[in-house]
Amino acid sequence: MHDEDENELLTARFEEHRNHLRAVAFRILGSLSEADDAVQETWLRLSRSGADEVENLGGWLTTVIGRICLDILRTRASRREEPLDTYVPGPADSRADPLGPEHEALLADAVSSALLVVLDTLTPAERLAFVLHDLFAVPFTEVAPVLERTPAAARQLASRARRRVRDAPTATDADPGRRREIVAAFLAATRDGDFDALLALLDPDVVVRADRAAMKAGAAGEVRGAAAVARTILGRARALRPALVNGTACAVAAPGGQPRVVFGFTITDGRITGIDLRAAPEWLGGLDVTILAD
C-alpha cells in the first residue's frame, strides 16, 4: 500500500474516534479550545507512530488523550490558571458545531453547573480517574497506566472524586425563575453601584473568567474572590442588559442592540459562583440571543 493510501486510511480511522476523543478531553479539561488542542496533539502522536500494531485503536487513543489532558491539568495547576473558555451550560450550547449523540449527552450532563464547579476542585489525577472510569467506562486497568498508578490506586482516586461530586450542592440553574431573579438582582446592583448588594449575591470564592476575545477588549483573564469581583464588575458592567441566551438567563453587553459580550452565570445555592465572559464572534454567531426589557 502506498504511503498516501496508508495516510488516508489512518486519517479515516482517526476520524471515527474524533467525537469521542473531544468529548473525553472536554470533560477532563472543561475547555472546548483546550479539548480541540488535545485532540490535535493525539492525532499528531498517532500519525508519528502509526497504528499498524495497535489492536484496539479506540482504547489506545483514549489512553493517549488522557495523558495529554493530564499534562495540561498539571501545568494549569502549577500555574494556578484556569481555562479561558470554560463551558457555560446554557449559553455555550452553540448549534454551529454539532458533534452527534456523545456531544448531546455531554451537554445534557453539563446542565448541572455544580458538576463543572466541583470537577474544578479535584486534583488532576482525581479528575482524570473519575472522568475516564465513571463517565466513559474505561477500566481501571487502563486508567492506571495513564496515571502511573496501580489499578487499586486509580480506583481510590475515582472513589474520592465520586464522593465529592455526589455531595456537591444542587445548582439553582434548574429553576429558570430563580435564576432570572438572581441575574436581575445582579444587574440592578451593578446599575446602582451598590457594592454591598452585589457582594451579597456573590459566593466568597466566585471566579470571573474571560475568553481571549473578551480579554482583547480589556477584560481581565481571571478575577477571584467576591470583593475583587464586585469591584471589577461595578467599574465595568453598568451597561449590561438582561437577555435569554439559548433560553438561559444571562447578561449581555449590546451596544446598538448587537450582543458583543455574553456574561454567563454559574449559580449554586442562590449565589453566583462563576461568571464567564465570552466575546468570540464565531461563538456569538451560533447563539439565540433575546435581549429583554430592563
Q: Identify the CATH number of the domain in which residue 265 sits.
A: 3.10.450.50
Contact by Cβ (8 Å): 76, 37: no
Contact by Cβ (8 Å): 282, 94: no
- Give the total residue count for the chain: 294
Find the mean pLDDT for residues 281-293. Answer: 77
CB-neighbour burial class of residue 50 (10 A; exposed 0-12, middle 13-18, buried 19+): exposed
3-state SS string for the chain: CCHHHHHHHHHHHHHHHHHHHHHHHHHHHCEHHHHHHHHHHHHHHHHHHCCCCCCCHHHHHHHHHHHHHHHHHHHHHHHCCCCCCECCCCCCCCCCCCCCHHHHHHHHHCCCHHHHHHHCCCCHHHHHHHHHHHHCCCCHHHHHHHHCCCHHHHHHHHHHHHHHHHCCCCEHHHCHHHHHHHHHHHHHHHHHCCHHHHHHHEEEEEEEEECHHHHHCCCCCEEECHHHHHHHHHHHCCCCEEEEECCEEEEEECHHHCCCEEEEEEEECCEEEEEEEECCHHHHCCCCEEECCC
Final residue of a structural domain among 151, 166, 181: 166
Instruction: Return the pLDDT at 125.
Output: 94
16: nearest Cα among 60, 52, 53, 48: 60
Contact by Cβ (8 Å): 215, 191: no
* Residue 4: band (very low, low, confident or very high) from pLDDT cuts 50, 70, 90: low
* Residue 145: band (very low, low, confident or very high) from pLDDT cuts 50, 70, 90: very high
Instruction: Return the pLDDT at 7.
Output: 77
What is the percent of the chain with per-residue pLDDT over 90, rounded to a whole number? 29
Is 35 inside a domain boundary? yes
Residue 206 and residue 145 share a domain: no
Residue 131 and residue 38 share a domain: yes
Is 278 inside a domain boundary? yes
Question: Which range, of 54-63, 147-156, 161-170, 229-238, averages the lowest pLDDT?
Answer: 161-170
Instruction: Return the pLDDT at 102.
Output: 43
- In this predicted structure, the answer to whether residue 54 has a pLDDT above a threshold of 80 is no
Question: Which range, of 75-89, 113-127, 134-148, 206-220, averages the lowest pLDDT?
Answer: 75-89
* Residue 88: band (very low, low, confident or very high) from pLDDT cuts 50, 70, 90: very low
The pTM score is 0.55
Instruction: Return the pLDDT at 119.
Output: 75
Contact by Cβ (8 Å): 162, 129: no
Find the mean pLDDT for residues 45-74. Answer: 86
25 or 82, which is more confident?
Answer: 25
Instruction: Return the pLDDT at 52.
Output: 66
Report CA Rg, the chain.
Answer: 20
Instruction: Return the pLDDT at 8.
Output: 82
Find the mean pLDDT for residues 88-116. Answer: 41
- In this predicted structure, the answer to whether residue 126 has a pLDDT above a threshold of 50 is yes
Is 12 inside a domain boundary? yes
Residue 39 and residue 67 share a domain: yes
* Residue 86: band (very low, low, confident or very high) from pLDDT cuts 50, 70, 90: very low
Find the domain containing 268 and state its range.
172-291
Is 68 inside a domain boundary? yes
Quickly count: other Cβ atoms within 10 Å of residue 94's Cβ: 17
Contact by Cβ (8 Å): 127, 133: no
Give how far Cα 48 sits from Cα of 41, 43, 45, 72, Å: 11, 9, 5, 21
Is 109 inside a domain boundary? no
Q: How far apart are the first and last CA of the chain?
A: 66
Find the mean pLDDT for residues 92-117. Answer: 42
Residue 287 and residue 153 share a domain: no
What are the b/e assignments for 14-34, b being 16+ CB within 10 Å? beebebbbbbbbbbbbbbbeb
Residue 202 and residue 234 share a domain: yes
